[in-house]
Structure 1
Amino acid sequence: MSYAAPVLIGLLYVLLMCLLRAPHRRRLNAVMVAGAGAAYLSGGGLGGWEFAFTAVATYVAYRGLDSWTFIGVGWLLHTAWDVVHHLKGNPIVPFAHDSSLGCAICDPVIAVWCLGGGRTPAELLRAWRPARGRLTEVR
């Protein structure tokens, strides 16, 4: 398995999300993390734990409707769940044995961006310039 491909997929996801305007970008990412939280429900192989994780992910995604931090935490939770499935459960894509590992590599890329406020490259540049080397909050 190539480890670069999942990182590139995470970066592509971030770049595509940056095409959306700020309030819609956050809300769509909350919906995406909710969907990721339910990805293993149809056959993840961990029984009732699949429902428990989905309930936690749904709560975190709901809180993410108003908070980039919760969205980032949701992606990190999904990363941990991917690792569990790679080691003990079934892969996220049934015909791709290492798909959960790939997802576990991709998700933290998205999480770091979310924990940083889900900013576009232009917003990052605007925040960087006035502070002379320090990031400021973009409103």
Structure 2
Amino acid sequence: MTYVSPILVGILYCLLMSLIREPHRRRFNAVMVGGAGAAYLSGGGFDQWELPMVALITYVAYRGLDSWTFIGIGWLLHTAWDLVHHLKGNPILPFAHDSSLSCAICDPVIALWCLGGGPSLVALARGRFRARRTRSARARRRGLSRAAASTS
């Protein structure tokens, strides 16, 4: 569960974000990655070295206001920082030993979605359902017209 739950959380995040319409979805996600970049500031264990990473992710988040690619890069940067904290033994949540590892597993799921342009997964699912329903309706109509042709 240590590895599966974070993946499910990443997918759930992408699904929930899909409910926000564009361009607000992209901007909201830029703010989210900027906030994630500051998550370790209050005691991440790298003292003053936390500041350059926060500055970098803040810049990337700012660029993400207009670019899904930058948002994806921001999540990948946060993944790397999560791994460093996990290896050092300074988790994002001090009371949850594997919290940084879980975050490092979850964040690439979100990054992949962002690097793909942050599409609405809800709209994609609806489109596939409609396409499948349309194909099966066409197949039924073809089957009916063939059956009618064979009886005449």
Q: TM over 0.5: same fold?
A: yes
Residue 87 of structure 1 pairs with residue 87 of structure 2: yes
Greater Rg over alpha carbons, structure: 2
Cα deviation digits, residues 23-64 of structure 1 (max 9, x gap): 000000000000000000000000111011000000000000
Residue identity matched to 2:98:
D
Residue identity matched to 1:109:
V
Question: How far apart are the structure 1 equivalents of 2:77 and 2:36?
Answer: 10
Aligned position for 1:38: 38
Residue 74 of structure 1 pairs with residue 71 of structure 2: no
Question: How is 1:20-35 mapped onto 2 (pairs within 5 angstroms)?
Answer: 20-35=20-35
Question: How far apart are the structure 2 equivalents of 1:116 and 1:43?
Answer: 33
**TM-score under structure 2 normalisation?**
0.80
Question: How far apart are the structure 1 equivalents of 2:33 and 2:63?
Answer: 11
**Residue identity (%):** 74
Q: Is the 8 A contact 1:44 1:89 kept in 2?
A: no
SS at match of 1:94: coil
How many aligned positions are there?
127
Q: What is the deviation of 1:89?
A: 4.8
Aligned position for 1:101: 101
Question: How far apart are the structure 2 equivalents of 1:100 and 1:11?
Answer: 18
Aligned position for 1:110: 110
CA root-mean-square deviation = 1.5
Q: What is the deviation of 1:7?
A: 0.2
Question: How far apart are the structure 1 equivalents of 2:89 and 2:36?
Answer: 16
Question: How far apart are the structure 1 equivalents of 2:62 and 2:88?
Answer: 28
Question: How far apart are the structure 2 equivalents of 1:69 and 1:123?
Answer: 20
Q: Is the 8 A contact 1:46 1:89 kept in 2?
A: no
Gaps of 5+ in 1: 130-139
Q: Kindly report structure 1 stretches of 4+ aligned residues shifted beyond 3 Å.
A: 123-126
Question: How far apart are the structure 1 equivalents of 2:78 and 2:104?
Answer: 8
Q: Is the 8 A contact 1:82 1:100 kept in 2?
A: yes
Question: How far apart are the structure 2 equivalents of 1:68 and 1:44?
Answer: 27
